[in-house]
Amino acid sequence: MSNQKIDAKKIIALKEAGWRTERIAVEMKMEPCDVDKAVHKFVDREGKDTKEKTEAKEQKSEISLSREALTVITKEAAEIAARTALETIEREKKKMHSMAVERRLHNTKLLLRNYRMLKDNSENSIFGRSQMEESAADILYNMMNLYDDEVIVDAIKRSATRTAIMVSHIDTMMGIYRAYCEKSSNILDIRRFEVVHDMYIAEECLTVKDIAEKKSMSKENVYSDLKIATERLSALIFGVDGLSVH
């Protein structure tokens, strides 16, 4: 076969038109064997091109699917991360709230235990409230930022005016608590008020044993009444934030 350029497409066209190899060879001035080789070569090349195009298309489709899958995964990961962050924040908020409630309850018990001493100091004081522009809310706020009971009590009793303000605030809240208990349909409420009053507020404070005998109840019930009454007083003394949310 000469080095002439073979027109493979023409050979294929003649083949498809029904020409025999020998006739095509004469027409194309080629040897019959070269005609067959040209046909086979063309068919192989076309088949390879078709295969490569198919593979390229499939690869492109896979890449497209991979990108879509990656987008979905990324979106889901972002949603999970955001949800986890919100849950963590919510847990921290509940933890902080619980700690604040416990702190207020602790300080309420501290005030009640020291009520008689503070009241005596207040009544024996020769100073007037006008000497200090301070409210009960200010004193209570400062209590929340101190973590030594002795320091807290000392900070209150060191000032006669501050002591008078705190005693007055406790008296007022005890009055509100008593009014609530007297109007309550639960007969245990007034007993709880009387228990906490006898324990901390009365001029002659009683022990748990004394209260149990006076009320004809067990010491366990006295402790239970004190717990409930103190929690409710904490809500009154420190405001609604003193309430524990269950």
Complete domains list, the chain, with CATH = 1-113 (1.10.10.60), 114-242 (no CATH)
> For the whole model, what pTM was predicted?
0.59
Residue 126 has pLDDT above 60, yes or no: no
> What is the C-alpha separation between 166 and 136, in angstroms, rounded?
6
Residues 6+ apart with CB under 8 A from 222: 195, 208, 211, 212, 215
Q: Are 144 and 174 in contact (CB under 8 A)?
A: no
Q: Are 14 and 24 in contact (CB under 8 A)?
A: yes
> CA dihedral defined by 32, 33, 37, 38, rounded to 10 degrees?
-20
Residue 220 has pLDDT above 80, yes or no: yes
> What is the C-alpha separation between 36 and 24, in angstroms, rounded?
10
> What is the C-alpha separation between 196 and 229, in angstroms, rounded?
7
Rounded average pLDDT over 82-111: 84
C-alpha 220, offset from chain centre:
37
> What is the C-alpha separation between 54 and 59, in angstroms, rounded?
9
Task: Read off the amino acid at residue 146.
Answer: L
**Confidence class of residue 3 from pLDDT cuts 50, 70 and 90?**
very low
Kindly give the residue spans of alpha helices, DSSP state H, lying in the chain: 8-16, 21-28, 32-113, 115-123, 136-144, 149-157, 160-183, 187-196, 208-215, 219-237
Q: Are 203 and 190 in contact (CB under 8 A)?
A: no
Tens of pLDDT along 163-207?
889 999 999 999 999 999 999 999 999 999 999 999 999 999 999
